[in-house]
Amino acid sequence: MKILITGGAGFIGSATIRYIINNTNDSVINVDSLTYAGNSSNVEKESKSNRYVFEKVDICKKDKLKKVFDEYMPDVVMHLAAESHVDRSISMPSDFINTNIIGTYNLLEVSRDYWNDLPVRSKDKFRFHHISTDEVYGDLPHPSDSMDAGKILFTETTSYQPSSPYSASKASSDHLVRAWARTYGLPAIVTNCSNNYGPYQFPEKLIPLTILNAINDAPILIYGVGDQIRDWLFVDDHARALYLVITKGLVGETYNIGGHNEIQNIDVVNALCEALSEYSPLKKDYKQLIKHISDRPGHDRRYAIDSNKIKKELGWVPKESFESGIHKTVYWYLNNLDWCEHVVKANTI
């Protein structure tokens, strides 16, 4: 297959490209505008493959998108390009509206026109895979609220109640994709994932930021008491699931992808500090750097995904436990500080 991936220089997009180039015979067209969170070095090895091409294109530029489709004629679109950091969405919501809503609209329209002109056989095989987040569902009851709260999980039919400008913009993009599927017949599939972590994540998110702050002897900031719960998914497990969806998933379906690791933020940070103490030659007690600050506005307290559908229908389960994934992540960052220094210097966090 020829797979067009938007946002392929970003965190999840680059992991998906690495998986496809290294584990399949498919070709990749990486479409990325290389904003602060996108780095071509994330797929440096894979870019040497004759099955990889890169096009620096902003999905908000409809005419340029059309040229990419006309030139490469993809069989599948995997739409990962998005602004994704909640804190940034609170301070700069317009970027999220433009990329996540207008950009998705442009991509849908270009994909629809392209798909309509395909010959019947190619038209039947075409897929539009929209990759989204569990944050569109809002938050769930917290275990501190009731004994049964932990049994309540996000399913594919959970109603949308986004809390932040980021999650609202992603909810909007989900609705657009489903509307284009129902109204125009575009063969679309939607996936909603839990919190990803792993190598090559831009250091504004909790895990890489904690690692870098710790080794730089800077404060490790925790919102509130740190009891917010997230379901943590190792990015390579997610990439494997995404490829499975485009090869075996059914058109019109939604699949939730979770890591089966519900953990409080404070416990994530403590686990990182312990792993750093193990791997770092300084053997410091990094927990002394933890500092609690005022909570973020509208902060969701708990996310948790029910992944039974993708397990039963497509046979996917995560391979990494949180412990194994955290150790791999900490080890990678400690051995790739030059990458960290490069992306931090090139951008204002």
d(CA 156, CA 178): 13
* Candidate list 46, 58, 83, 134, residue with the active-site label: 134
Query: Please, which residues have CB within 8 angstroms of residue 7's CB and are 6 or more apart in sequence?
Result: 13, 31, 32, 38, 79, 80, 81, 82
Strands (E), 268-324: 290-293
Provide the 3-class DSSP secondary structure of residue 54.
Answer: strand
d(CA 217, CA 284): 10
* Candidate list 52, 105, 137, 166, residue with the active-site label: 166
Provide the 3-class DSSP secondary structure of residue 196.
Answer: strand
| Three-state secondary structure of 220-274 | EEEECCCCCEEEEEEHHHHHHHHHHHHHHCCCCCEEEECCCCEEEHHHHHHHHHH
Residue 58 annotated in active site: no
Provide the 3-class DSSP secondary structure of residue 330.
Answer: helix
Residue 323 annotated in active site: no
36: alpha, beta or left? (left if phi > 0; alpha if psi -120 to 50): alpha
The number of beta carbons lying within 10 Å of the beta carbon of residue 88 is 18
Torsion over CA: 270, 151, 146, 159 (sign): positive
| Furthest-apart CA atoms within the chain: distance in Å | 63
Which residue reads 């932990």 in tokens? 150
Which DSSP state fits 303?
-
Residue 135 annotated in active site: yes
d(CA 107, CA 122): 19
Q: Pairing relation of β-strands 262-264 and 229-234?
A: antiparallel
d(CA 220, CA 226): 12
d(CA 154, CA 152): 7
**Is there a contact between 268 and 133 (Cβ–Cβ < 8 Å)?**
no
Catalytically active residues are 134-135, 166
